[in-house]
């Protein structure tokens, strides 16, 4: 019997009703994701007809429209998996820290991965795609530990507000260091500037094959920690009383989140606010049970990043706005709303 079931009322009817609601929302999200994928394939600097879309999905590339769709397929896949990874990573970080403001971007994890990759390329000549991922994961892990250590200083320990402030300050410092590394290198500056904003443009099947094993490992670790995250939500003492090894649970779940953040940042750059928006929206829909919250966060994150990429391509035709800019435009006001709406203490 799980913690959630233990705390449920004895009446079976109320328990079934939320389950039905979750299933309904699950089908809705799957439908929205399918529509988002179709929109990503159909819309861009060149809008294509349905006939061109279906023929391109069948492998045809004889016309400009079919070639455009074929080029959008890996981009759409990358946006989907990257959004899912960031959505789950945000939900796990919020569960591990019991901090409703936790997010890979706000806590400095993405920027730590960025600095590690930029430094390795500029000073150590790193050129391997898999090497980018390992370096990014190491940078994400170091940054996460450092932010948590700084946020734990002083009276009260690692409160949500202190962690958010520490993460924002350290993110700003790391962003300055990234600029300091990139600016003198005119030979790589343009490439880094595009990547630093966060973009899924230029995605390829080779890139997807490289990042897929790491994302799969991160997904498995995070999803396996769902029951334990439910216990952590009750507090460390009660979780320990229920048989959870609190430190081990936190370390394992955080490892999964760091793998997802590092691999995603290596592939698309430091995209912010997805991990903040998505878990909050999912909690409003289906509650706080992480066994449901994590899969819903994956689907919602995939929808958000895919839609943001479509918006960036449509509103600036024939040019495009990088997806990291679109998510920042949406996410910054949402972050301010969260801080102003309620007294932020813990989940």
pLDDT in tens, 163-203: 778 888 998 899 899 888 887 776 666 666 666 778 888 88
| Residue 188: predicted pLDDT | 65
Is residue 23 in some structural domain?
Answer: no
Q: If you average pLDDT over residues 66-93, what whole number do you get?
A: 93
Give the CA distances from residue 283 to residues 95, 107, 289, 296, in Å, rounded to whole numbers and listed in that order.
Answer: 12, 20, 8, 9
Is residue 41 a contact partner of residue 313, using CB atoms and an 8 Å limit?
no
Is residue 113 a contact partner of residue 132, using CB atoms and an 8 Å limit?
no
Is residue 35 in some structural domain?
Answer: no
Is residue 260 a contact partner of residue 317, using CB atoms and an 8 Å limit?
no
Q: Examine the pLDDT at 233 and tell me if it is beyond 80.
A: yes
Q: Domain of 179?
A: 74-341
Helices (H), the chain: 3-7, 12-42, 50-57, 64-97, 109-124, 129-151, 160-182, 189-197, 205-224, 226-232, 236-241, 246-268, 274-286, 290-314, 323-341
Q: Look over the chain and give the mean of its residue pLDDT values, rounded to a whole number.
A: 83
How large a percentage of the chain has pLDDT more than 90? 33
**How would residue 304 be classed by pLDDT, with cut points 50, 70 and 90?**
very high
| Residue 191: predicted pLDDT | 60
* Segment 243-257, tens digit of pLDDT: 888 888 888 998 999
**How would residue 4 be classed by pLDDT, with cut points 50, 70 and 90?**
very low
**How would residue 131 be classed by pLDDT, with cut points 50, 70 and 90?**
confident
CATH code, domain with 215: 1.10.3470.10
**How would residue 7 be classed by pLDDT, with cut points 50, 70 and 90?**
very low
Name the token pair of 121: 């390329």
Q: Which helix (H) or strand (E) holds 260?
A: helix 246-268
Is residue 148 in some structural domain?
Answer: yes
Rounded Cα distance between 291 and 227, Å, is 6
**How would residue 13 be classed by pLDDT, with cut points 50, 70 and 90?**
very low
How many structural domains are present in the chain? Answer: 1
| Residue 189: predicted pLDDT | 61
Q: How many residues does the chain have?
A: 347
Q: Examine the pLDDT at 328 and tell me if it is beyond 70.
A: yes
Q: If you average pLDDT over residues 127-153, what whole number do you get?
A: 86
Is residue 56 in some structural domain?
Answer: no
Name the token pair of 271: 């995209």
Is residue 101 in some structural domain?
Answer: yes
- DSSP code of 186? T
Rounded Cα distance between 254 and 249, Å, is 8
Rounded Cα distance between 97 and 346, Å, is 8
Is residue 19 in some structural domain?
Answer: no
Is residue 67 in some structural domain?
Answer: no
Is residue 198 in some structural domain?
Answer: yes
């Amino acid at each position: 019997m799980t913690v959630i079931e233990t705390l449920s009322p004895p009446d079976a009817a109320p328990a079934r009703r939320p389950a039905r609601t979750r299933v309904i929302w699950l089908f809705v999200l799957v439908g929205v994701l399918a529509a988002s994928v179709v929109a990503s394939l159909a819309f861009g600097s060149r809008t294509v007809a349905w006939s061109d879309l279906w023929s391109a999905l069948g492998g045809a590339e004889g016309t400009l429209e079919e070639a455009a769709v074929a080029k959008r397929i890996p981009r759409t896949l990358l946006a989907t998996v990257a959004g899912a990874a960031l959505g789950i990573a945000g939900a796990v970080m919020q569960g591990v820290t019991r901090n409703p403001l936790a997010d890979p971007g706000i806590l400095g994890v993405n920027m730590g991965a960025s600095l590690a990759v930029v430094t390795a390329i500029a000073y150590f000549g790193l050129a391997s795609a898999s090497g980018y991922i390992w370096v990014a994961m190491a940078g994400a892990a170091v940054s996460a530990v450092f932010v948590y250590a700084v946020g734990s200083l002083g009276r009260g320990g690692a409160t949500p507000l202190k962690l958010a402030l520490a993460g924002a300050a350290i993110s700003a410092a790391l962003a300055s260091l990234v600029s300091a590394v990139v600016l003198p290198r005119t030979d790589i500056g343009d490439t880094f500037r595009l990547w630093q904003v966060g973009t899924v443009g230029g995605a390829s099947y080779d890139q997807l094959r490289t990042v897929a094993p790491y994302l799969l490992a991160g997904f498995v670790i995070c999803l396996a920690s769902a029951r334990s995250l439910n216990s952590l939500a009750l507090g460390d003492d009660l979780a320990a009383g229920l048989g959870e090894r609190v430190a081990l649970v936190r370390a394992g779940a955080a490892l999964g989140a760091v793998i997802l953040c590092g691999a995603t940042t290596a592939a698309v750059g430091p995209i912010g606010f997805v991990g903040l928006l998505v878990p909050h929206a999912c909690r409003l829909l289906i509650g706080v049970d992480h066994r449901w919250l994590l899969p819903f966060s994956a689907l919602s994150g995939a929808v958000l990043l895919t839609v943001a990429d479509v918006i960036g391509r449509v509103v600036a035709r024939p040019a495009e706005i990088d997806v990291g800019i679109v998510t920042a435009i949406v996410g910054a006001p949402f972050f301010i709303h969260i801080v102003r709406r309620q007294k932020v203490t813990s989940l």
